[in-house]
A and B are shown apart, each in its own frame.
Chain A
């Protein structure tokens, strides 16, 4: 009985466990990419949204220290 159970878990043929594995792997990959995207893109996103809001500020105002 135990050897049968062991075989069942080990074989790649069990479709339900491999589907879950795929979903888990895909979600991990997408979370990693989302984290990198947020890390590099959050501040530029705020700047783009801010520069497009009314009244539109000048690029010079963004870069000058005054």
Chain B
């Protein structure tokens, strides 16, 4: 009699292991970094839409080192006095980039024809300590900024210290509380507009969904939810509310990852609809189509591009 039962029982236990087994609180997984708490939601909701023509050519010299050449031609928005009208100026530029990827050191540099340098560095100082630096340098005085981050990865927590120019100091901390829930907080102090801020974030994830929320003392409340419908499809929804300026935006987005292409799009409560299609024409050749339609402001942005390598 006892022999008849075990096969059925073990099959059920395997399926429900994650929920039924006693939670081992001393062995929780490491949480995602604080900046990436909304990572899955932003993959569909904050896709990189662009306007105009884009061509990226990436040439690898060896496994670790590659060069990239980018050409971008299109209208660029210029801040205007009234919020209703958008002023666009056609601009064309060429950007040269060099990348070096090592398991312990990553260097990415991009320089444009007008002399602007965009530099990123990521170095593993030790097993658990990572230094990340990000800088945008221009020839004009007082227009450059740089940020240095020191990330420490503990067993089930992550801590980060951030130092920026113009006396910007920030720290974030995120901790796994259960195998699925992680909570974090951040505090920052900015020297130039003399203000400090505090924020909290929470993230709950399972195999099929991720729900996250973030509150900041700047007044922003962000809540989003992502559901993975299948291997190829996921849907996301987002709600942003600012309790000082009373701005509310809600959006719904989708992400379809198909064999030869990836299409992401969203619809917004501000009347903005956007979509981004990345199609793999052949090995190393990608075709991009981007569209963003703002019905309220009557601003229509369409872009196409090609990525080689």
- Chain A positions near chain B (C-beta within 8 angstroms): 35, 38-39, 42-43, 45-47, 49-51, 53-57, 61-62, 66
Known: A43-B109, A43-B111. A51 touches B137 (CB 8 A): no
B98 touches A35 (CB 8 A): no
Known: A39-B137, A42-B109. A62 touches B61 (CB 8 A): yes
Is B287 part of the contact surface with A, judged by Cβ < 8 Å? no
The residue on B at minimum CB distance from A53 is B64
Is B306 part of the contact surface with A, judged by Cβ < 8 Å? no
Majority secondary structure, A binding face? helix
B107 touches A46 (CB 8 A): yes
Complex CA–CA separation, A61 to B139 (angstroms): 30
The residue on B at minimum CB distance from A39 is B137
Count of A-B residue pairs with CB < 8 Å = 55
| Residue from the list B59, B62, B111, B139 in contact with A55, Cβ < 8 A | B62
Known: A42-B117, A43-B98. A50 touches B109 (CB 8 A): no
Interface residue ranges of B75-96 to A (CB < 8 Å): 96
Cβ distance A3 to chain B, nearest Cβ, rounded Å: 32
Residues of chain A within 8 A of B99, CB atoms compared:
46
Residues of chain B within 8 A of A43, CB atoms compared:
96, 98, 109, 111, 117
Given contacts A49-B107, A57-B62, 7 further A-B contacts (CB under 8 A): A38-B117, A42-B109, A46-B65, A50-B61, A50-B65, A51-B65, A57-B61
B119 touches A38 (CB 8 A): yes
- Chain B positions near chain A (C-beta within 8 angstroms): 59, 61-67, 96, 98-100, 102, 107-109, 111, 117, 119, 135, 137, 139, 144
Cβ distance B135 to chain A, nearest Cβ, rounded Å: 7
Identify the interface centre among A42, A43, A57, A61: most chain B CB within 10 Å of its CB. Answer: A42
Complex CA–CA separation, A61 to B59 (angstroms): 9
Residues of chain A within 8 A of B137, CB atoms compared:
35, 38-39
The residue on B at minimum CB distance from A63 is B67
Residues of chain A within 8 A of B66, CB atoms compared:
50
B117 touches A50 (CB 8 A): no
The residue on B at minimum CB distance from A56 is B62
A46 touches B117 (CB 8 A): no
Residues of chain B within 8 A of A54, CB atoms compared:
62
Complex CA–CA separation, A46 to B120 (angstroms): 11
| Residue from the list A35, A42, A61 in contact with B61, Cβ < 8 A | A61
B64 touches A50 (CB 8 A): yes
Complex CA–CA separation, A39 to B137 (angstroms): 6
Complex CA–CA separation, A42 to B108 (angstroms): 9
Known: A38-B119, A38-B137. A49 touches B100 (CB 8 A): yes
Complex CA–CA separation, A66 to B61 (angstroms): 11
B144 touches A53 (CB 8 A): no
The residue on B at minimum CB distance from A36 is B137
Complex CA–CA separation, A19 to B300 (angstroms): 58
The residue on A at minimum CB distance from B137 is A39
Residues of chain B within 8 A of A57, CB atoms compared:
61-62, 65
Complex CA–CA separation, A61 to B107 (angstroms): 20
Residues of chain B within 8 A of A51, CB atoms compared:
61, 65
Q: Which 10 A-B pairs have the closest CB atoms?
A: A50-B65, A57-B61, A46-B98, A43-B109, A39-B137, A46-B107, A42-B119, A42-B109, A50-B100, A53-B64
Known: A35-B144, A55-B62, A57-B61. A50 touches B135 (CB 8 A): no
List 23 contacting pairs A-B, 8 Å CB cutoff, sorted by A. Answer: A35-B137, A38-B117, A38-B135, A39-B117, A39-B137, A42-B107, A42-B117, A42-B119, A43-B109, A46-B65, A46-B98, A46-B99, A46-B108, A46-B109, A50-B62, A50-B65, A51-B61, A51-B65, A53-B64, A53-B100, A55-B63, A57-B65, A62-B61
